[in-house]
Structure 1
């Protein structure tokens, strides 16, 4: 069983204090990065997750070092759990998934987050239906008018190449090829 620390900071001074705390708590390997938590691509976090083995413990000084949103945090904790590892936050003692209370807290928050996603999905679906009933069109505005589409089909039927037609309307060749579909 290895204790793997993760330190993410925006300034060098913060990193030093996190490394000291993680080392004092028994972390043998510490993955460090200086990157905003809002960024999805965090290479050191990806390396940490990829290196996990059953029985390992992932250790952070505070929850916000691992994830910036509840959803992201719960997803990461789930990935850690699927690897057979546990998660612990030094600054948040209830967050220790090696304990019954920590697993319960994670499960409850995951259920609440899923419930919230379902409510959002329902509300946006209802809003979309109302907007469509009022005549709102969704999606991009067509690049070609109905007249241009019919004209392009006639030109295509007359033997003009797709490339020539597309160039004359300043659209991709694929758009002209899809007109007959």
Structure 2
């Protein structure tokens, strides 16, 4: 025998679910689950219990759609779960939201199509905005810890055979920062050039120390002295 399970909700403790429970029982609900939580929350225990209790041929009923969801996307997600269990859904105050009838099923299908169309439009606008921003030179992601000058000098030191750990200490950054710099350089150049000798390494080191570039952008309390 099919069950009719009711779900009632109010947002605050100052409100009462009594009226909703009366309406749901009058509509034939054999069991009513209720809670006092915001409809914007996804983790509603009593709603989860109501959906879990549904079986094939059962019906989940509510008094109004806003008791169940705050957006069309949330509503469609919940209705999908109800449908997956083989149950139907009905809103007492919204005649079109009744999947126990062919007309109601059609309306929910149309709503789902509109929501999908809206989502595709949002994605398309977002993609266009990102592409235009990139064309305008906008950089996405976290800002680099090293200035362009520091990056060039670090590459020179690495080219001359200086270990990544030593370069990281000189610039007061984590070795992972230097590793990412190396990976980017290899990706652009197809491999790190090896055209510099030790004199180039020493020159780059002196340039960093003389210009005060090492440690730039690092809080003063975290700076370490550069090796002699």
Aligned residues: 174
Aligned match of 2:7: 6
Alignment of 1:21-170 (within 5 A): 21-145=23-147, 147=150, 158=163, 169=173
Contact 1:7 1:15 in 2 (8 A): yes
Long gaps (5+) in structure 2? 184-228
**Structure 1 residues 129, 177: closer, same or farther in 2, change over 3 A?**
closer
| Higher RCO (C-alpha 8 Å, min separation 6) | 1
Contact 1:3 1:56 in 2 (8 A): yes
CA drift of 1:149 comes to 10
- How many angstroms apart in 2 are the aligned matches of 1:72 and 1:87? 14
| TM-score, structure 1 normalization | 0.81
- How many angstroms apart in 1 are the aligned matches of 2:34 and 2:84? 23
Long gaps (5+) in structure 1? none
Contact 2:57 2:88 in 1 (8 A): yes
| TM-score, structure 2 normalization | 0.66
Contact 1:149 1:179 in 2 (8 A): no
Secondary structure, aligned partner of 1:18: helix
CA drift of 1:177 comes to 6.6
Aligned alpha-carbon RMSD (Å): 2.7
